[in-house]
Structure 1
């Protein structure tokens, strides 16, 4: 098993980018070389801005290179109707449209820039683990379908045929979703941004952000950047960049595994259409395949000590159980990464002062929503007020009792597992 992700392990040779050297100037400085930062750099450079990206490690080293590669154009826990009820018709519909167009943007960029990243717009499926969950799935699909999305509901038999997994009450699918190799996609975005004249520096962690008369000065160990505007696109990896920023989200460590390739006869039974799957369980069950027929899935941990060994084994056993794999191939790669989760499970832009903004759009939907976020940040860099963007925009709002709340997802996992089992038995 490897500590780096499958995607970095199979990515082959990459082009090394130098650290920033001396003092350089830009209209926009982006901190973080993941999906959000690279999409911002590409879209802003295409609008004619001078853009610099500062990555602390290498491109796609953080959450971008450690996810499962699902392209999902919706929200992890929220549906259109309740978003509109909370935000109002105009703001709510803006945010819903932002999400609904996000997968199309991803695949359009891949096509336009000829990014070779195992991309398949084959659809994303959400199976329902219980009758109660199926009712929610049907409502969710109907809400997206009313807004023109390619949302299709499937019964239990159709779900079993399409996924190869038994025991689900039904499902819905968004046919515009899909899957890809996230590291290859990020590298392609980086190349496209540089072709549009953006400059990308690796191994350039920002140690200080200082306000200046003409914008901001970003300091690194080997140089500095002067920029009129700054976008912090570090997800859960930039906790020290601004006071209090880390207390505006819940950091969640997620583990992923990839097995050795499955035999052809088994692969033909599971996901013959090559979709991605994440079900309705609180203890989320996900699976997909890569181009070599490795089976990929993820999960969380309850106790941190020994988790790097214990959790991958648990995920592996769960795959065998849920997919009826009596001879499941061994684990070939196991890795983990940090995600930023907002209490309301919606994307957020944090207003840190004139010309300084941070963005959190993941919540389990990293590839599609953060790519779309980059397009909006580029508009902001060109003069669109933050309040006019489709994503909630406000000063930092620290989560009360953050020191305790940040552990809640892991502490509550046993209770979530129990509730999932009760749901399946029809007792709750």
Structure 2
């Protein structure tokens, strides 16, 4: 095992169903070419192939190498920073409701695909819990639960006692729960999506980095080191891993580096106190605190960093100590795995489709809710591959919108972390 390495997450290390896929050799002609073998690209490939279209996924490394294989495996069917009423106010009733509906069924879509295709990924759909870190945050969680409940979500507002019973953690004044959420092994889920897409007729190609994209006739020509693809339509599904080929896209989002850790398995007596129902937890702090267990009873959590020098060693230890403090674990098991990854965060924290030309789209749907939202985006993009107009899809669509002063602003989430931590402490004290 390559413990503590950015190159291999826990999920890659414990994976059971890895199989090599070939690189592209020669020429290929397809209806849809997808750049990126993560959740977005694989879900799009699966749903497009099931509609009878020819599709190829071109992955520069291996399946689930980027953010897909570097997250904590939470399936969260809502928006990280936005509630339904906010979205309707921003987008209007018609478009707003369509986007909210898109999110509403996203977790059920994930777990439905797992069941339908027999994907072995340690999936548990027992809910996602958001404890409130302060009284002010508690009011927001109550409103959040009510807004989603009005749209048919299986939500529940939770008081102090319910939060403690469900999580095993004392001190939260309450919170809410979405019972449609859950947890899984993200790498095994991605590999299962790839297998299902291939079974439906898609081509999945690894070690196939796209070096250029050019408009030809009514389609696109993609070049790689050892081949070429002619496609009627192209989806860029690289999240924050697009590289220099997509410099325009790089200026439209905040690239957020997230660290994740996993402890050694917990003793049974401690494990039975914490999350007895196997849910995932992510609280309301600005410096977000999350935790869950994997199938081997390892505790998993994550966090951000302030400055880069020494972060790969320093930050995992700080996250491990924070985990022990918040969960009241004086003898927490040692840190067994640590890894990091990049996520693309949109300025408004909403999914987005970016218009890059006729039949050329980039899709972003992570924003801290990657598994559910990107899987759902793939199903939507299959409609586009089949002829639907982008503006008729439920996701916001428009040309690239670079963030002003991006070279400086791209560091804002990390540089503002000390202020966020201070504000969290003041909230709790109040």
What's the TM-score once normalised by structure 1's chain length? Answer: 0.99
Q: Could you tell me which residue of structure 2 aligns to residue 167 of structure 1? A: 171
Q: Find out whether 1:321 has 2:348 as its counterpart.
A: no
**Matches of 2:307 and 2:77, distance apart in 1:** 32
Instruction: Quote how far apart the aligned CAs of 1:157 are.
Output: 1.2
SS of the residue corresponding to residue 228 of structure 1 reads strand
Contact 1:239 1:245 in 2 (8 A): no
Instruction: Quote how far apart the aligned CAs of 1:2 are.
Output: 2.8
Contact 1:250 1:341 in 2 (8 A): yes
Gaps of 5+ in 1: none
Question: Alignment partner for residue 2 of structure 1, among 4, 7, 17?
Answer: 4
SS of the residue corresponding to residue 245 of structure 2 reads coil
**Matches of 1:300 and 1:117, distance apart in 2:** 26
Q: Could you tell me which residue of structure 2 aligns to residue 413 of structure 1? A: 417
Q: Could you tell me which residue of structure 2 aligns to residue 63 of structure 1? A: 67
Q: Could you tell me which residue of structure 1 aligns to residue 375 of structure 2? A: 371
Seen in structure 2, the aligned counterparts of structure 1 residues 230 and 271 have a Cα distance that, compared at 3 Å, is: same
SS of the residue corresponding to residue 14 of structure 1 reads coil
Contact 1:75 1:346 in 2 (8 A): yes
Q: Find out whether 1:222 has 2:226 as its counterpart.
A: yes
Q: Could you tell me which residue of structure 1 aligns to residue 302 of structure 2? A: 298
Question: Alignment partner for residue 386 of structure 2, among 382, 394, 412?
Answer: 382
Contact 2:154 2:178 in 1 (8 A): yes
Q: Could you tell me which residue of structure 2 aligns to residue 397 of structure 1? A: 401
Indicate the RMSD between aligned Cα atoms, in angstroms: 0.7
Question: Alignment partner for residue 39 of structure 1, among 43, 59, 72?
Answer: 43
**Matches of 1:330 and 1:281, distance apart in 2:** 25
Cα deviation digits, residues 46-104 of structure 1 (max 9, x gap): 00000000000000000000000000000000000010011000000000000011001
Cα deviation digits, residues 155-196 of structure 1 (max 9, x gap): 011101110111101010000000000000000000000000
Q: Could you tell me which residue of structure 1 aligns to residue 344 of structure 2? A: 340
**Matches of 1:115 and 1:346, distance apart in 2:** 28
SS of the residue corresponding to residue 7 of structure 1 reads helix
**Matches of 2:218 and 2:400, distance apart in 1:** 23
**Matches of 1:121 and 1:240, distance apart in 2:** 38
What's the TM-score once normalised by structure 2's chain length? Answer: 0.98
Q: Could you tell me which residue of structure 2 aligns to residue 199 of structure 1? A: 203
Instruction: Quote how far apart the aligned CAs of 1:239 are.
Output: 3.6
Q: Could you tell me which residue of structure 2 aligns to residue 262 of structure 1? A: 266
Q: Find out whether 1:158 has 2:162 as its counterpart.
A: yes
Contact 2:166 2:277 in 1 (8 A): yes
The alignment covers a number of residue pairs equal to 426
Contact 1:349 1:359 in 2 (8 A): yes
Cα deviation digits, residues 289-322 of structure 1 (max 9, x gap): 0010000000000010110010100110000000
**Matches of 2:330 and 2:102, distance apart in 1:** 42
SS of the residue corresponding to residue 219 of structure 1 reads strand
**Matches of 2:292 and 2:424, distance apart in 1:** 21
Q: Find out whether 1:188 has 2:192 as its counterpart.
A: yes
Contact 1:236 1:338 in 2 (8 A): yes
Contact 2:17 2:188 in 1 (8 A): no
Q: Could you tell me which residue of structure 2 aligns to residue 76 of structure 1? A: 80
Q: Could you tell me which residue of structure 2 aligns to residue 424 of structure 1? A: 428
